[in-house]
Chains A and B, each alone.
Chain A
Amino acid sequence: MAHDVQHYNLDQKFEFTAATKKAVFMVLGIGAALLILGIVMAVFGGGHHEAAEAEGHAFHWYERLYANLWINNVYFTGIAIIGVFFFAIQYAAQAGWSTAIIRVMLSLGNWLPIAGVLMIVTFFIANHDLFHWTHAYLFDKASPEYDKIIDGKGSFFYWPMAKGTFPVFYIFRMVLFFGFWVFFFKKFQSLTYNEDLIGGTSSWYKIRSWSAYFLIFFAVSSSIAAWDWVMSIDTHWFSTLFGWYVFSSWFVAGLSTITLITIFLKSQGLLEMVNENHVHDLGKFIFGFTIFWAYLWFSQFLLIYYANIPEETVYFIERLSSDIYGPYIFVNLAMNFALPFLLLMTRDSKRHGVFLKLVCALIIAGHWVDFFLMVQPGTLGHNGGVGFMEVGMFLVYGAAFTFVVLSGLAKGKLIPKNHPMLEESYHHHI
């Protein structure tokens, strides 16, 4: 063959230029403006107050702010950990095609330490306003609000302390998950960048074994994280495939983010060796896991709908029969399944930028709607909805996430030049 990978500049670095930074800050600014507008409207709007107070629970504008913080905390944490997860998958599967873009995947993990802090802080601030199970009276047998079902589940949050006091076990899991996720991320990062210096295959073997440990840990932790952070909002309700459902939502959004960053880097003249074949594979992943998400969403829905058990159907009744959330169920299915499915079906749409970019953006927004539908009905009820606050908060988080990830990416070299499978990635052809 005429060319091989050594003809390319393998020491290339992504430069986070002032122009790019400006664009990111512009989005941040627009988001912040919308967010403030939303808050102002919520503070002075207050049309729902009397109705809410009649039910014995006054609604405060900041509850909506907390719910938005929580949606984006969970969503962007997921995208970040999926970057690390997909990186680990490449090593565990001994994949060669992806070698040129593995550092793009890993760079998403830069958000994890910040996400962890945000998550814990938001939990302590929002507490009762987000999680019904944090109320102590639910566990007090003498109280009229004593809840037998939540009492039965209480130990999962409060062990080893008394129920209704401090959720030690819950916080322990949150710290444990973020701690290990960040640990694995840092481990992968140091091993892959060290490979540039030492060469050989030892780094590859080391990352492969760490990947295996990470994948085992992630298999358990992602599922439990989904119960803790999302499913426990609707404390009475449960779904056995909820962990997978949240994971698939994260996965599609994470893949779309990886693809968008890859296309962006290519538009900057970097990653020349990544061609339409690699992009095609990313597109196929997105296409496939879009269907996977729809499969899980529908599996959860159909079983609940068909069996018609009140304690299960409550979840969908709360959403489908609500004027606020009902339409978004269909928006959710259209954005995350119907449109990507039809738009990405042909080979050309997966290989050439425009369509794929469009679908990636659609999916990233679409899975936000998915998390919006998981969090808001249980926390805000009829006081929720998509308004300025929601859009603003999403843009603020998105811009902050982009800034952190791109700064992280700019710190090291883009291509793992001593990776044993770099040549294979260069010749990837489908």
Chain B
Amino acid sequence: MERDTHFVTGVYEDEDVLLDAITQVRSSGIKIHEVYSPYPVHGIDDYLGYKRSKLPIAAFLFGLLGTSLALTMQFYMMRFDWPMIIGGKDYAAFPDFIPVTFELTVLLAAFGMVGVFMVSTNLKPWAQPRIFDLRITDDKHVMAIDIANNSAVELAKIEEILKSSGASEVNKKSFE
């Protein structure tokens, strides 16, 4: 069976049931594809065993890029391209550069982080989101399990475990 196309979904009514269910499902050796919730569930990343995001590193590097870009730009402009004496200071008066450097650092760190986030999570404006169950936008939590990813476990067994972990419904969902 192809990966990332055929899924079993468990529908949960309550966030505490969901969190316990995640622990149960994971301990029975089933790999969870993703859990969808209508609102952020506190601490769910720890239950799902997600590693910390590496986004801060991207933010730091983009910030560093902003700092160096701003300093280079100002230094080049003020010292070589169009030297000007402002307020009786030297051409390349370092303290004057700090506010612009600060702003560009913040700007590039923020934009860079948003960009990296969108690319890494496939959040491009024309992306077609896959909806596992329309009710995740309202009042249901849905746990999606990729069947191909769990070929070691029988399909019936997966469904049984989902049911016993407190899922109110167990459905199948396939994407083209």
A interface list, Cβ under 8 A from B:
298, 301-302, 305-308, 345-347, 429
Closest residue of chain A to B57 (Cβ to Cβ) is A346
Which residues 159-175 of B have a CB within 8 angstroms of A? none
Top 3 A-B pairs ranked by shortest CB distance?
A305-B95, A302-B95, A306-B87
A162 to chain B, nearest CB (A): 43
User: Is the beta-carbon distance between B52 and A302 smaller than 8 angstroms?
Assistant: no
Q: B3 within 8 Å of A by Cβ?
A: no
Interface residue total, chain B, C-beta cutoff 8 A: 12
- Within 8 Å of chain A (Cβ to Cβ): is B123? no
Query: With A and B bound together, what is the CA distance between A345 and B59 in angstroms?
Result: 11
A288–B167 CA distance with the chains assembled, in angstroms: 43
Contact B56 A306, beta carbon cutoff 8 Å: no
Judge whether A302 and B99 touch: CB under 8 Å. yes
**CB <8 Å contact, B98 and A302:** yes
> A302-B99, A345-B60, A347-B52 provided; 6 other pairs, C-beta below 8 A?
A301-B95, A302-B95, A305-B95, A308-B88, A346-B56, A429-B42
B49 contacts chain A at the CB level, 8 A cutoff: no
Per-position binary interface string of chain B over residues 83-107, scored 1 when its CB falls under 8 Å from any chain A CB and 0 otherwise: 0000111000001101100000000
Q: Using a CB-CB cutoff of 8 Å, which residues 92-147 of chain B contact chain A? A: 95-96, 98-99
A251 to chain B, nearest CB (A): 21
Which residues of the partner chain A approach B98 to less than 8 Å between Cβ atoms? Answer: 298, 302
Tell me the smallest distance from the CB of B85 to a CB of chain A, in Å: 12
B43 on the A face (CB < 8 A):
yes
Report the minimal beta-carbon distance from B160 to chain A, rounded to whole angstroms: 26
Tell me the smallest distance from the CB of B44 to a CB of chain A, in Å: 11
B95 contacts which chain A residues (CB < 8 A)?
301-302, 305-306
Q: Which residues of A contact B56 (CB under 8 A)?
A: 346-347
B: residues with CB less than 8 A from A are 42-43, 52, 56, 60, 87-89, 95-96, 98-99
Question: Across the interface, do A306 and B96 meet the contact criterion of CB distance under 8 Å?
Answer: yes
Residue of A nearest to B16 (CB): A1
Chain A residues closer than 8 Å to B43, beta-carbon distance: 429
A89 to B52, CA, bound (A): 31
A429 to B44, CA, bound (A): 12
A308 and B56 CA atoms in complex are apart in Å by: 39
CB of A344, distance to nearest CB on chain B (Å):
13
The CA-CA distance from A298 to B95 in the complex, in Å, is 9
B60 CB contacts on chain A under 8 angstroms: 345
- Residues in A whose Cβ lies below 8 Å from that of B99: 302
Expressed in whole angstroms, the minimum distance between the Cβ of A59 and any Cβ of chain B is 33
- Can you list 19 A-B contacts with CB-CB less than 8 angstroms, sorted by A residue number? A298-B98, A301-B95, A302-B95, A302-B96, A302-B98, A302-B99, A305-B95, A306-B89, A306-B95, A306-B96, A307-B87, A308-B87, A308-B88, A345-B60, A346-B56, A347-B52, A347-B56, A429-B42, A429-B43
How many whole Å from A32's CB to the nearest CB in chain B?
41
Give Cα distance in the complex from A39 to B88, angstroms: 45
Closest to A305 in B: B95
Complexed CA–CA distance, A136 and B22 (Å): 79
Least Cβ–Cβ distance between B94 and chain A, in angstroms: 10
What residues of chain B lie closer than 8 Å to A298, measured between beta carbons? 98
Contacts of B87 in A (CB 8 A): 306-308
CB distance from A125 to the nearest CB of B (A): 39
